[in-house]
Structures are given as structure tokens and as C-alpha cells.
A and B are shown apart, each in its own frame.
Chain A
Amino acid sequence: MNKPARGSLLGIEHLEDKEILGLLKLARRMNPQKARPLLRNKRVVLLFYEASTRTRSSFEIAAKSLGAITTLVQSSGSSIEKGESLLDTGYTLRAVGADVIVIRHPAAGAPHLMAKHLDIPVINAGDGMHEHPSQALLDAFTILKHKKSFKGLQVAIIGDIFHSRVTRSNCHLLTRFGVKITLCGPPEFVPEVSAMLAPGLRVTRHIEDALRGTDVIMLLRLQTERLAGQKISLQDYIARYQMTGARLKLAKRDAIVMHPGPIIRGLELTAEVADGPQSVILDEVHNGVPTRMAILARALGKAK
């Protein structure tokens, strides 16, 4: 077992502040329309064990914009279906000539396992309920486009915190730079222990309390497919936690509304909020490409 190869991105938690700031700076300089072919002839393998629309297409476009060759390997239609282990899949892709592996996996820690055994960079595109570092970076990128700096910002994250790898990564990233975060939802989705993830976190059960004076509102989909037997009344959730136009007024007037997607209109938010002027949901998707260009450039040592 070894240390992950240079350029790997396994999570936000163990990144240094200057690495985060460096990636954000690099992302700002990336333009998908006018990119230099920094990764010409490099092979980027996208290894996806879970469904994905945004992350997959955005990593692929990011890689191609930089001149790389991309290959998509999915669990269905590959030898993974036949029972090939994660490590053997990794060794195989390395032997095929992968220069970097971007992996999405339903098991927390899967990218870490691969990185311990491979000598090429591994990029975590979401591992179970653990982390989703590229999403946190693109969210930070988006916040900085709309707010001057992280200083003094208040963020409310509302919904299914427990199952959310996006939330874990965002909490690790934003609290580093002094952002105060309020986690909001029912105990099934927001256990008390959530507040211990990072300094500067607090938990509330009341959406009004979470929204008052907030600069950034992050909404989450209820991952009912991960509920493992627990039942929750959606009607009850909607009544107490759905983001509506009326509730949005409790936040600061220039507050932005974010959501990592996929959004379910009529559940965690109304169409009015999703399509409203304060929504930056599609901007996040848009910013995913330069952010992932930066991540890939760094992974392959082209972060100049």
C-alpha cells in the first residue's frame, strides 16, 4: 500500500488551503471554448459505477477541451458485471494505458483503495456518502463569482445531509475559510453528529432559523434510494422544509440558491425557486467544466 499518486484528488478534507485556492485560481483561467491542449494524447478513463449526468459529461467535456482522449467504463456492460474486483479493474485500466482515472463509486473510500494500489492519479467523482470534491470546488467557484469572498458568509444547507457527499465536501471546504454553515432538516436526515464534521457548523430543525440572514442556500435532493428501510413522510417534509418563494424572502435579499442536482421540482424546492432570479443552479453546472479542467490539469502536472 502506498501514498496516492501526485495529483490525485480523493477528498477536500485532507487538502491544504493553498491547494484549494490554487485549484480555484486555475479554474478561473480555464476556458472550455479557448483551451490550450494541455492534455494532448493523455488518456483519461471515466470509471462510473453509479449513474451520473452532470459529473460524467462535465469531466468528459473538460478532458476533451484540454485535448485528452477519454474512455468511459461503466459497471454495466463491462467485466465489473462478471465480478471483477475494483482493484483488478484498476490494474486493467492502468495496463490499457490510463494516465488518470476518474472514479464514481457507491462505496465510500473506493477511490482511496484504488489510489493506494495504483501509481497514476485517481480523482474522486463521488464515493458513496463520503465526498464529492469536484462538486465542492465548483460550488466554491460559483459562490466566489457571486460573492466577493468567503469572509463572513453564512450558508444554509437544507435537506438530506446524512446521505450527502456534496455536503461533507462543502463543509470541509467552506469552513476552512471561515464560512458559518447551518445544517437544516429532520433528525433522519440531519443527525446531531453532523455538527461535529467540521468547526463552525450548527444544526437546526427549523428552516426559518436556517434561512434568516443567510447569503447562500444549498438545497439537496432526498436520497430516498439510500434510506435503507427508514420511512419518511414526503408530505411532512415538503410542509416543513421545501424551499418556496415565501421562505426565500427570509434570507438576505442577494442570497443565491444552489443545488448539486438532480433537482426534484415540487419536493425540496418549488419551480418558482428553481427558475427564479436567485437560482444559480445551472451556473453551477456550467462552472463544473472549468473546475474539472483545473482538476485534470493538476492531476497530470500541467497546472502551470
Chain B
Amino acid sequence: MLNAKNQKRETASLLIKGGYLIDPAGKINAAMDVLLRDGRVAEIALPNKVRGGADEKFDARGLIVAPGFIDLHVHLREPGQSYKETIATGTAAAAAGGFTSVCTMPNTLPVVDTEEWVAWLRDPERGAMVNVFPIAAATRSSRGATLTDFAALQRAGAVAVTDDGKPILDDEIMRAAMQLGAELNLPVVQHAEDTRLTEGCSMHEGRTSFRLGLRGMSDAAEANIVDRDVSLAQQIRESRLHVAHLSTADALKAVRRGKRAKARVTCEVTPHHFTLLDENVGEYDTNFKMNPPLRSAADREAILVALADGTVDAIATDHAPHATHEKEVEFERAAFGITGLETALALAITTLHRDHKIPLTRIVELFSAGPARVFDLRGRGSLAKGNFADVTIFDPKKRWTFEAAKSRSLSHNTPFDGWQFVGKVMATIVGGKIVYRAE
């Protein structure tokens, strides 16, 4: 919303003509024209039936028109690590990946644990090309000891709290965080990893880690924490738990248990976890090193099922840019994380739709209506009349090759360099303004 102010309104109205609209929340799956005016959705009508005029037209023939994609989990590295990424470069990559909104993780330098930093992130001075929704730290400096001022952070614009990267292990602190979150209707996001079990580990524990002589993270290190958190969500009325980058079959079981019990539990999955396996690490390729790590074939199978059956609420990238000198080191010393904003939709269409027959409607839901619900982003995730004019337009059949060197991100630490994909973002519209257009 704030960023909308920043955008120079070159055109007050834009008509998206000839496209095929998929709006899962609005239950629309049909050829429709969409008129955007003054930053809002003004009209949805059958082809050529839009009544109002438009300053500009976008020819969407042969393309899918969808509610703007929302990424619940990105690291844009500001404040403090602008050599890896800035809000300007990270949101440019987001726009190129079809994301109209991104939720930023607070593990920056310093940690985003005050209203001032939340406001700083949302300041137009940062030059964001898409909407930025900060997630604030749940404890001071994410040290896991003292809760931050959730109410003040929420007033400043934080959409959730988390100590991402430094999971909250202490039962009482986690309980207190969920209780306070419940009072404020604020989701608590957990990076589920029992770090007492993962010291010195750099990949998934299994056959490949043994072969490579690397210490492995067990499934239990993730599942135990999710299990505990889901139990808390069941005990604390109105509390909201969001499980970040879920990667194991056992953690999914815990999420299913919570959902069956009608607890407010949601989860996200990354494109790399639904595409790659631990064995893809090859001979110590650090572009395949992230946390949570790539898992076993059985874990990936379980994730694919959960993406299809509705258990997973959102696809999130965990976009984690790192400089070359932080990755071109010994595998065990290399930074965890990969970039992901520009390959997410292509991976979803290629892996989920083409290879596993998950319908496009479901994929669009996982990128829009799903994440909007997780963090209650009002007016987004659907193209209902009056909603924000955030739109993602893509070609589900277009073949293309991703080149990391051409990425808009400041960092190029991706395992997908040179990958051939089906499905490409053709245009990204934020607040009625085209912020990205494919050549």
C-alpha cells in the first residue's frame, strides 16, 4: 500500500484484454478482461464487455491473468548486507518473477526488532518495485530470550513475527509468543529446526551425506519442532502458527494433525524442495546448500501430495542471496541459501503442472489467495472489484532458459542456472502500474 504512493502514476487506467483469468478466491476460471483504475480493480467482464475506457491496454491473448503473486518468505538483506541484495534489487527480481508483494525476513544487520526498522523497510526511499510487507523479529535481536513489542511492530506494518534462522526452541518463549500473537491476531512464523541436533550439519542426513562425509540434519530436527508448535497452536485459542519452508514428510503429518483439529496452522513449501533431492548436491555444489536442506525422495513425494491436496497453503521462495565469495568456499563453510524469486513460477509450472499434473488453478492459488490468507493481506490475493490492482500475467506454455547471469538479483547463487523451463512471467502489475514486462 505504502509503495503505491511512491509509484508515479503514468497511467491512471489499464485494460488487460484477451487473457484467461484464473482467480481461485473469486472462483473465476474463464476468458475475462480486467480493467484497473487508480490502483484498484475497477471491472471484470467477459471479453470485450468492459464498459469503461482505458488510458492503456495490455494484450493478454494466450496468457493467464492471475491475482498478483505474494511471496511469504524472502531475504532482501537490508539493512546491513547490501552487498548481497538491496530492497531495490530484490524487489526488481521479485517483479521479474511475477511477485507483486514480498514479505521480508527480519534476520538482517541489525535484526528488524523495532518499529523504526519496520518503518525503514517500508520507506519509499528504499526504492521497492513491489509491495514490501516486513516480518519482524519475535524476540529481541532474535536471541530467543525476550519478546519484542508485537503490538508496536504490528502498528508499524509488520504482518507477522519470526526469529527465522534462529528458531525459538524454548517452550515457554514460544508459548508466550503464540499467546501474544493470539491477542493481536498476528501469525508467529517458525523456522522449524532443533539446532541442538543440527550443529555442524550442512545437508540432509541420509545416504548422500554419508557418502560425501558431511554431517546431516535429521528429519526429526524439523519434525520435533513442528510437532511441538502445532500442539501449542491447538492449546492456545486463536493463536496462529505458520510453518516456514516445510521440508519433511514427518513435519507434514504434524501440520495435518493441527489442521484436522481446526487449529490455525498454515505452512509454506519452496520450489527447490518440491523439485530437487539431497543427491542433487553432486560433488559439493554449494548452490544446492540451503536450510532446510534438500531432502529424500520420500519427503519430496509427501510434499507433492500435500501441494495437490490443499495441506500446503503457499509456495514461498526463501530467496536467500549470497555473494560469490560466501559460496565459493568449502561446502561445510558455505552460506546456506539460494536465490529463487525469478524461477519460482517456472518451477511450479514445470514440476507441479507439467510433471505432476497439478492444475494451474491450484498453482495460482498457492501463489496468491493462499499466501494472502496466511498473513491476512486484505485486498490482495484476488482480483475482486475494489481490490488492489496487483496482477501477474504469465504464459503457461512458453519455453525458456534461465540464465543466472541475467538475474535482477544482486547475487547469482542459484542451482537452476541454464535450466529449461515451461511457463514464463510475461508481465507484473503493481498498483495498476506495469513494473515488469518480458521482452
Contacts and interface: CB of A to CB of B under 8 A. Distances in A.
A228 B199 CA distance: 8
Contacts of B330: 86, 105, 107-110, 113
B331 A108 contact: yes
Given A109-B283, A228-B200, A194 B328 contact: no
Interface stretch (B129-137, B203-211, B422-430): B203-211
A229 B284 CA distance: 25
Contact of A165 (B213, B215, B333): B213
B405 interface: no
Contacts of B329: 85-87, 113
Interface in B259-314: 283-284
A28 to B, nearest CB: 29
A196 B325 contact: no
Nearest to A171: B211
A20 B213 CA distance: 22
B283 A112 contact: yes
Interface in A187-226: 191, 193-194, 196-197
A196 B283 contact: no
Interface string A35-46: 000000000000
Interface in A75-112: 85-87, 105, 107-110, 112
Nearest to A88: B325
B284 A193 contact: no
B211 A168 contact: yes
A113 B214 CA distance: 15
B210 A191 contact: yes
A196 B207 contact: yes
A124 to B, nearest CB: 11
A131 B213 contact: yes
A67 interface: no
Given A228-B199, A229-B199, A108 B213 contact: yes
A129 interface: yes
B29 to A, nearest CB: 45
A168 B206 contact: no
Interface in A167-193: 168, 191, 193
A268 interface: no
18 contacts: A13-B211, A87-B328, A105-B330, A107-B331, A109-B284, A109-B330, A110-B330, A112-B283, A113-B328, A113-B331, A130-B214, A131-B213, A168-B213, A191-B210, A193-B206, A193-B210, A197-B210, A197-B211
Interface of B: 199-200, 206-207, 210-215, 283-284, 325, 328-333
Given A13-B211, A165-B213, 9 more contacts: A86-B330, A105-B330, A108-B331, A109-B212, A117-B328, A128-B214, A196-B210, A197-B207, A228-B200
Interface of A: 13, 85-87, 105, 107-110, 112-113, 117, 127-131, 162, 165, 168, 191, 193-194, 196-197, 228-229
